[in-house]
Chain A
Amino acid sequence: MAKGKTFSKPKALSDAHTHYCPGCTHGIIHRLVAEAIDDLGIRGRTVGVAPVGCAVLAYNYFNCDFQEAAHGRAPAMATGIKRVRPDLMVFTYQGDGDLASIGLGEIVHAANRGEKFTTIFVNNAIYGMTGGQMAPTTMPDQRTTTSPFGRKADEVGMPMRMAELLASLATPAYVTRQAVLRPKHINKARKAIKQAFTYQVASRCFTFVEVVSTCPTNWGMTPTDAIDWAEETLLPYYPLGEFKVPE
């Protein structure tokens, strides 16, 4: 029999069935985070901070201490946790409405202070939980429930590139953008997420992993079409790669 592989659920993931829509790639990102936590053996001292958005219920899907933040405030909560307990491994898991809209102040300042926690930023160019509204990352001409005729850049500006924005800050940090659209992206994303947590274990710097993700339901596409659309439309505007690595 040819050399095959085994594959099992990471311990840091709970057994709960997720509420995410079929084909929503949040689930993949959850698994990659859980794999990093398992690989680094830090589950016993990890505290996750959930956002408000589809991933608010992330706390049901991880087997580690968790706090649930107000909309946009996860980076501030993570700052509070990390500052009083620097020995804890802290991560925030946030969507684009949570992080790039209401919580922009919090993420920029946490990054600029060099808070030594890890942020997983899921960019699916839309508000999911509330039913498909325009997000700061929504593409030009992309239709959403609050941009029914497509996002008009001359009215509401161009989509925000969070990785590049945070990478422009002078404070040392690890800032990368990944995707979970194709298996090759997933493998790279797994390495980047593990790298981020590794920097945290070494108490090096603030670490930020933006992950281009899909939202089949609110994009109005099948899961596989959503993958294709994301690759054709999102990736050109949101290039993948490491934008900042601590010296």
Chain B
Amino acid sequence: MAKVLMKGNEAIGEAAIRAGCLNYFAYPITPQSEVAEYLSRRMGEVDGVFLQGESEVAVSYMIFGAAGAGARVFTTSSSPGISLMSEAMSYIAAAQCPAVFVNIMRGGPGLGGILPSQGDYFQATKSVGHGDFRLLVMAPASVQEAVEMTMQAFPLAEKYRNPVMILGDGLIGQMMEPVEFPDHLKVEPVDNSSWATSGMDHRGSKTRNLVKSLFLDPAALNNNNLVLKAKYERMQREEVRWETYNGDGDYDALIVSYGTMSRVCRTAIDNMQAEGLTVAMLRPQTLFPFPEQAVYEAATREQCRVVISVEMSMGQMVEDVQRSVKGHRPVQWYGKCGGEVPTPEEIVEVVTESLAAN
């Protein structure tokens, strides 16, 4: 499989097609408009559907309608746009339809900026929209991983009949890196004739299907929530993924970082290692389900004295790290916002200061 040098945004678009998703609805927003530009050309070549909607709100309901009709479908947007899609994600989770949302994060809050950020961690993992529901959230650290996670998102969405989010940041979208599209990641869609509004004739069925999220009867609504909850618990058992770096032996400090930020931390770790200071990193690949147990075990290793959550935000994942470490080690945050990316030197400085203080 020859590698192709591609921009992240375009690679994500191509990944969806290679995964067998031929339906894309979107609205332009920096820093991810290139996905739409690319697919506006490419979808025609594969007899797919491309449509630019009038707003992210409308787009998110085009996604819901298409998903409800049983089609594989996805959209991409960025932070403010994802905020506009949050209501639909709640409806799609409640109605139990598979759909993939890609958020290429930009600086916030408000109109914020157009440079990379990780400021939507809470939004993606804690409060996507109203009601008790979660998204399966995967955070790529490279364009190749963005391709693979995008391809994996479709069978996962269908496995759980729940929206799945790819949470990248502006760099993931804008970087160009060599990528390949592993054929084995293309999985045939699961049969959805039991629930999708695909047309009775199409299913050869006399019973109609209904995709809805209204449950006026409290017992029925409570039951629907229990059904969803069971799925999220299953996600926590079966889908949690993370990577460690430089963490095989003993180390004095543990960095927890994801996405592009984790790559800067790798450089910092290498630089410290060269100076004789061993620091490890745990990189969550799924943000929900969060690798709590893995973080706990990595943090409570004998020699490890401090844990630092390094994020391009004002400290959001740090709360999950604290929750995972359960007070056994001091946990602090370090990060920058607005599109400024912490440098390896800054990280080295933070780690050494933290170790000195502990």
Answer yes or no: A and B touching, Cβ < 8 Å. Answer: yes
Interface residues of A (CB under 8 A from B): 43-47, 49-50, 56, 59, 62-70, 73, 75-81, 83-85, 87-88, 105-106, 108-109, 113
- Shortest C-beta distance, A118 to chain B (Å), equals 15
B324 near A: Cβ within 8 Å? no
Chain B residues closer than 8 Å to A78, beta-carbon distance:
65
CA distance A64 to B65 in the complex (A): 15
Instruction: Tell me which of B53, B54, B197 contacts A81 (CB under 8 A).
Output: B197
Judging by beta carbons under 8 Å apart, are A70 and B214 in contact?
Answer: no
With contacts A77-B61, A106-B54 taken as known, whether A83 is within 8 angstroms of B66 at the C-beta atoms is: yes
CA distance A82 to B68 in the complex (A): 11
Chain B residues closer than 8 Å to A65, beta-carbon distance:
197-200, 208-210
Judging by beta carbons under 8 Å apart, are B69 and A88 in contact?
Answer: yes
Judging by beta carbons under 8 Å apart, are A70 and B87 in contact?
Answer: yes
Chain A residues closer than 8 Å to B62, beta-carbon distance:
76-77, 79-80, 83
CA distance A75 to B64 in the complex (A): 12
Judging by beta carbons under 8 Å apart, are A85 and B61 in contact?
Answer: no
Judging by beta carbons under 8 Å apart, are A64 and B208 in contact?
Answer: yes
CA distance A65 to B88 in the complex (A): 20
Instruction: Tell me which of B53, B57, B88, B199 contacts A45 (CB under 8 A).
Output: B199
With contacts A66-B208, A70-B61 taken as known, whether A80 is within 8 angstroms of B25 at the C-beta atoms is: yes
Chain A residues closer than 8 Å to B71, beta-carbon distance:
84-85
Chain B residues closer than 8 Å to A79, beta-carbon distance:
51, 53, 58, 62, 65
**How many inter-chain contacts with C-beta < 8 Å in the A-B complex?**
132
- Identify the interface centre among B23, B65, B200, B214: most chain A CB within 10 Å of its CB: B65
Judging by beta carbons under 8 Å apart, are A81 and B210 in contact?
Answer: no
Judging by beta carbons under 8 Å apart, are A70 and B88 in contact?
Answer: yes
- Chain B interface residue count, CB cutoff 8 Å, equals 39
With contacts A77-B61, A80-B25, A81-B69 taken as known, whether A109 is within 8 angstroms of B199 at the C-beta atoms is: no
Smallest Cβ-Cβ distance to B202: which chain A residue: A45
Judging by beta carbons under 8 Å apart, are A46 and B58 in contact?
Answer: no
Judging by beta carbons under 8 Å apart, are A84 and B69 in contact?
Answer: yes
Additional A-B contacts beyond A63-B208, A88-B199 (11; CB < 8 A):
A45-B201, A65-B197, A66-B208, A68-B210, A70-B91, A73-B64, A76-B59, A79-B53, A81-B66, A84-B23, A87-B202
- Shortest C-beta distance, A110 to chain B (Å), equals 8
Instruction: Tell me which of A47, A73, A84 contacts B49 (CB under 8 A).
Output: A84
C-beta contact mask, B328-356 vs A, less than 8 Å → 1, else 0? 00000000000000000000000000000
Chain A residues closer than 8 Å to B211, beta-carbon distance:
66-68
With contacts A76-B53, A76-B59, A80-B73 taken as known, whether A85 is within 8 angstroms of B199 at the C-beta atoms is: yes
Smallest Cβ-Cβ distance to B201: which chain A residue: A44
Smallest Cβ-Cβ distance to B91: which chain A residue: A70
- Shortest C-beta distance, B210 to chain A (Å), equals 5
CA distance A30 to B151 in the complex (A): 42
CA distance A67 to B217 in the complex (A): 19
21 A-B contacts (beta carbon < 8 Å) = A44-B200, A47-B69, A63-B208, A64-B200, A65-B200, A66-B209, A67-B64, A67-B68, A70-B87, A73-B58, A76-B60, A79-B51, A80-B62, A80-B64, A80-B69, A84-B49, A84-B69, A105-B57, A109-B53, A109-B58, A113-B51
B213 near A: Cβ within 8 Å? yes
